[in-house]
Structure formats: structure tokens, C-alpha cells
Amino acid sequence: MMTAAELRPGVALRLEGTLYKITAAEYHMGGGKMGGVTHAKLLNLETGTTREWRFHASETVAEIAAEHQTMQFLYADDDTAYFMHPQTFEQVGIDRSRLGAALRYLTEGMSVSVEFFAGRPTSIVFPPIVEARVADTAPAAHAQGQMNVWKEARLDNGVRLQVPPFIAPGEWIRVEVESGRYLERAKGDRRP
């Protein structure tokens, strides 16, 4: 059991008989005789819809533990992404809409942690930052005093983003998955 003030993104809970996962939670302190309140965005794990919920600070909720299995990404069609357990070869499908921005960075054969609630696959655990190779961009340029100049680049996975002018085709960069924003060059030698 946890109090409403302890709620955080990623926690799964059951409300009114429905299984939800918290995608955002913000605690607001109460003033005077008013107690604090936690405003949460909840993802319905059965339908994929979201709703908002307000928890009073004194409320307690039971956290539902997720089961995690490392699986390989196989492919995605128009509606579903498919994953396979490497030892049992069992395959599961997850609705593409539940994977969010992470779907753009999945590559065939990549191992990811798949979350299961009540025996059903619901989502994947994907790092917030990934390293990706720049497939195509204008040649690298080093110009003095042009700090706010960016150019378009295309990654190996087809994602387009803005990068600094010194990035050349073939370089590895670090990208924020949710926003698709360039962060920095990847460290170390990443030649194939």
C-alpha cells in the first residue's frame, strides 16, 4: 500500500475494477485545513485510453506489481508490434499506440523488457535516451560564432531531427526518445 503523495509515473493500480498505469503524477500541498492532492494521468491497460484522477493525500492505494520478461522485437504491422521470448519462442503482440515514441527506435532483433500485468503484455520498458547513427545530413561544417544554427539529419531508422552543423553522416549521436531531440555525440568508437 502507498499513499497518494507517493504516486509516481510507472506505478500500476486498480481503480473501480480497472487496471491503470500512471503516466504522470503531480502532488499539490494543501493549505490550512485542506489536505494535499495528487493529480494523476492514468492509462487504461485494457483499452489504451487515458483519464485524469485526483487522489486525496490520506488515500491509500495498492500498487500492482508488473512481471517483466526480456523479449526480442520481431516486427510491427499497421496495428501491432510483435515480440518473441528467446528461449520458448512464444510470441506476443502489443498495440502500437501503447509503445509511443519508442516504436520508432525499435530495430529487428533488439532485446527489450516487456511488461506483463495479469498475464497480458501491456508495454515495454525503453530507455529515455538512445544512441542512433546519422544516415544522411549535410557535410560537417565548423563555423565560428554560429551557436544557434542547426541542420536536418535522417537517422538509420528514418527519424528526422535537427543536429548541430558539426555532425557528419555516419556519426553516432544520443537522442531523447520522447521528444526526438538531439542531445550530444555518442561517446566511444562505434564503427561497425
Q: Does residue 24 lie within any of the structural domains?
A: yes
Q: Does residue 192 lie within any of the structural domains?
A: no
Q: Which of 110, 111, 108, 152 is nearest to 134 (CA)?
A: 152
Share of the chain above pLDDT 70, in %: 93
User: Which of these three, 96, 125, 154, is where a domain ends?
Assistant: 125
- CATH number for 166: 2.40.50.140
Mean pLDDT of 37-65: 85
d(CA 119, CA 64): 12
Q: How many helices (H) and strands (E) does the chain have?
A: 0, 17
120 and 80, same domain (yes or no): yes
Mean pLDDT of 156-160: 89
Q: Is residue 44 very low, low, confident or very high in pLDDT (cuts 50, 70, 90)?
A: confident
Q: What is the tally of structural domains in the chain?
A: 3
Q: Does residue 190 lie within any of the structural domains?
A: no
Mean pLDDT of 148-167: 89
71 and 114, same domain (yes or no): yes
Q: Is residue 111 very low, low, confident or very high in pLDDT (cuts 50, 70, 90)?
A: very high
Q: Does residue 171 lie within any of the structural domains?
A: yes
6 and 59, same domain (yes or no): yes
d(CA 121, CA 108): 19
pLDDT: is 82 or 27 the higher one? 82
Residue 55 phi/psi, 5-degree rounding, is -110, 135
